[in-house]
């Protein structure tokens, strides 16, 4: 269970995970308060002492090379002494929208049934991983970093898979060791006292409660890049690569189902986001996709990561409707009508059919 309070008006409770309710989302400045941010934890948040906390850094990608036994240990004070960077970042679970594979495409998938609320944007403050590694000494042929959490081992189907850990390549030059979200210490559920963020990447890359970084000259593996978090099933090839950049998605800030009156002016608003580029266009359809209206994009500080959209609708007839939102990012990626099936329910990026009941 998450540590922070999960009031039912803000969260949908999914056991060890908790989903933000879009009808309660605070759209004002584009940053998601940690108290409202979704939680996705494989086990439970460890209780870590900031005074004795050390980040261990080792591997053959360091110069001089260091084995695990001989790891360098950095305290939080050591990290705080390095130049700090702040930027808004998207945090989104790979499986966000999973429930819609069933509800919308007829292929339900077990595992956490998120609608669209496993997402948020925070202003992250910390130090660049490359600054830390360069201050230690990086080998010329260093290639990958394996980030390992300090949470309990993840046991599934009787198999102990060890703590959550996942590698990323050093070509991701913006990767950050994060100490604060929105100017406040990380909450225990969100990785206190230190987590990794690889901007634009799937949630599993954003390792919480960071215990160590292994820097390697060769490829690194963990079950979180070999077994999970890659596409399987459906038409996907058996050797699909590990998932990296987040797709384009969007959500309406409305109850599910929404409820409106005939003839009443309704402001359809919400956010659209992409792991690759700012949002360029958002269209809305209230007639099942027959016609589309361009929504207005409202600028704010978080718009480089996700954009607020709004569009006015005056429903003409009572009954059950679906409101559709279709976003396009600056890289030219548009939400499709359908997401090809995969057996873990990852990356549901299709246009969501948000049910709205119009009463007469």
Ligand X SMILES: Nc1nc2c(c(=O)[nH]1)N[C@H]1C(S)=C(S)[C@@H](COP(=O)(O)O)O[C@H]1N2
In the complex, what is the shortest distance from the CB of residue 141 to ligand X, in angstroms, rounded to a whole number? 28
Kindly state the smallest distance separating residue 197's Cβ from ligand X, in Å: 10
Max distance between CA atoms of the chain, in angstroms, equals: 74
Considering the complex, state which of residue 139 and residue 174 has its C-beta at the smaller distance from ligand X: 174
Give which of ligand X, Mo ion, none residue 349 binds (C-beta under 5 to 8 Å, depending on kind).
none
Pairing outcome for strands 319-329 and 55-58: unpaired
Least separation in angstroms between residue 115's CB and ligand X is 15
CB of 39 to ligand X, least distance (A): 4
Q: Compare residues 138 and 152 and give the one whose CB is closer to ligand X.
A: 152
The set of residues, in sequence order, having a beta carbon less than 8 Å from that of 91 and lying 6+ positions away, is 37, 38, 119, 120, 121, 122, 197, 203, 206
Task: Count Cα neighbours of 154 within 13 Å in the Cβ-side half-sphere.
Answer: 16
- Give the torsion sign (CA, 187, 188, 189, 195): positive
Distance of closest approach, residue 315 Cβ to ligand X, in angstroms: 35
Choose from ligand X, Mo ion, none: what does 37 bind? Cβ within 5-8 Å by kind: ligand X
147/266 with CB nearer ligand X: 147
Is 203 near Mo ion (CB under 5 A)? yes
231 CB burial (10 A radius; 0-12, 13-18, 19+): buried
Q: Which residues bind ligand X (CB under 6 A)?
A: 37-42, 91, 93, 149, 151, 164, 189-191, 203-204, 206-209
Residue 211 has phi, psi (to 5 degrees) of -105, -40
- Judged by beta carbon, residue 187 or residue 298, the one nearer ligand X is 187
Partner whose footprint covers residue 149, from ligand X, Mo ion, none (CB < 5 to 8 Å by kind) = ligand X
Task: Please choose which of Mo ion, ligand X, none residue 42 contacts, taking the beta carbon within 5 to 8 angstroms, the exact cut-off set by kind.
Answer: ligand X
Residue 78 contacts by C-beta under 8 Å, 6 or more apart in sequence? Answer: none
Q: Which does 38 bind (CB under 5 to 8 A by kind): Mo ion, ligand X, none?
A: ligand X
Can you tell me which of 57, 62, 93, 194 binds Mo ion, judged by CB under 5 A?
93
Task: In angstroms, give the least distance from the CB of 112 to Mo ion.
Answer: 8
* 41 close to 15: Cβ distance less than 8 angstroms: no
The one segment of 103-111, 155-163, 201-209, 341-349 that binds Mo ion by CB under 5 A: 201-209
Taking CB within 5 to 8 Å according to partner kind, which of ligand X, Mo ion, none is near residue 41? ligand X
Inter-CA distances, 107 with 40, 234, 272, 309, Å: 23, 11, 25, 30
Cα–Cα dist 328/311, whole Å? 16
Which CB, 222 or 285, lies closer to ligand X? 222
Q: Measured from the CB atom, is 14 or 308 closer to ligand X?
A: 14
Task: Based on the shown chain and the rule CB under 5 A, indicate whether residue 166 belongs to the binding site for Mo ion.
Answer: no
Q: Is 40 in the site for Mo ion (CB under 5 A)?
A: yes
**Cβ-based neighbours of 259, under 8 Å, separated by 6 or more:** 356, 357, 359
Segment interacting with Mo ion (CB under 5 A) among 88-96, 256-264, 274-282, 344-352: 88-96
Strand (E) or helix (H) holding 79: helix 76-80
Give residues with Cβ within 8 angstroms of 194, minimum separation 6.
53, 55, 76, 79, 126, 177, 178, 179, 186, 209, 210
Answer positive or negative: Cα dihedral of 274, 279, 281, 286: positive
**Could you tell which of ligand X, Mo ion, none binds residue 315, using a CB distance below 5 to 8 A set by kind?**
none
Residue 154 token pair: 């993840």
Identify which of residues 309 and 346 has a Cβ nearer to Mo ion in the complex: 346
Report in angstroms how near the CB of residue 236 gets to ligand X at its nearest.
20
Binding site residues, Mo ion, CB under 5 A: 40, 93-94, 203
């Amino acid at each position: 269970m998450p540590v922070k309070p999960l009031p039912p008006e803000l969260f949908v409770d999914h056991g060890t995970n908790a989903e933000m309710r879009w009808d309660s989302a605070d759209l004002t400045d584009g940053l998601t308060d940690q108290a409202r941010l979704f939680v996705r934890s494989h086990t439970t948040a460890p209780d870590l002492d900031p005074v004795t906390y050390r980040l261990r850094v080792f591997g053959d990608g360091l110069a001089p090379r260091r084995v695990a036994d001989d790891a360098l240990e950095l305290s939080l004070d050591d990290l705080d002494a390095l130049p700090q960077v702040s930027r808004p970042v998207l945090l989104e679970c790979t499986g966000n929208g999973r429930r819609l594979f069933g509800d919308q495409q007829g292929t339900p998938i077990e595992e956490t049934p998120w609608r669209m609320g496993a997402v948020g944007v925070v202003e992250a403050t910390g130090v660049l991983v490359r600054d830390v590694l360069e201050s230690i000494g990086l080998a010329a042929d260093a290639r990958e970093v394996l980030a390992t959490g300090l949470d309990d081992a993840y046991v599934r189907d009787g198999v102990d898979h060890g703590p959550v850990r996942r590698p990323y390549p050093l070509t991701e030059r913006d990767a950050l060791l994060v100490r604060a979200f929105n100017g406040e210490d990380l909450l225990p559920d969100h990785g206190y006292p230190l987590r990794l963020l690889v901007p634009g990447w799937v949630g599993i890359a954003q390792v919480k409660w960071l215990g160590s970084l292994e820097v390697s000259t060769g490829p690194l593996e963990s079950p979180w890049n070999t077994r999970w978090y890659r596409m399987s099933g459906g038409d996907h090839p058996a050797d699909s690569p590990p998932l990296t950049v987040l797709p384009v998605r969007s959500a309406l800030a409305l109850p599910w189902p929404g409820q409106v009156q005939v003839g009443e002016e309704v402001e359809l608003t919400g956010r659209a986001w992409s792991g690759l580029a700012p949002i360029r266009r958002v269209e809305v359809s209230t007639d099942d996709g027959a016609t589309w209206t361009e929504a207005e994009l409202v600028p704010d500080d978080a718009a480089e990561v996700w954009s607020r959209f709004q569009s006015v609708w005056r429903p003409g007839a009572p009954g059950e409707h679906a409101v559709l939102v279709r976003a396009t990012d600056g890289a030219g990626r548009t939400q499709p009508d359908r997401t090809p099936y995969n057996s873990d329910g990852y990356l549901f990026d299709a246009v969501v059919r948000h049910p709205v009941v119009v009463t007469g």
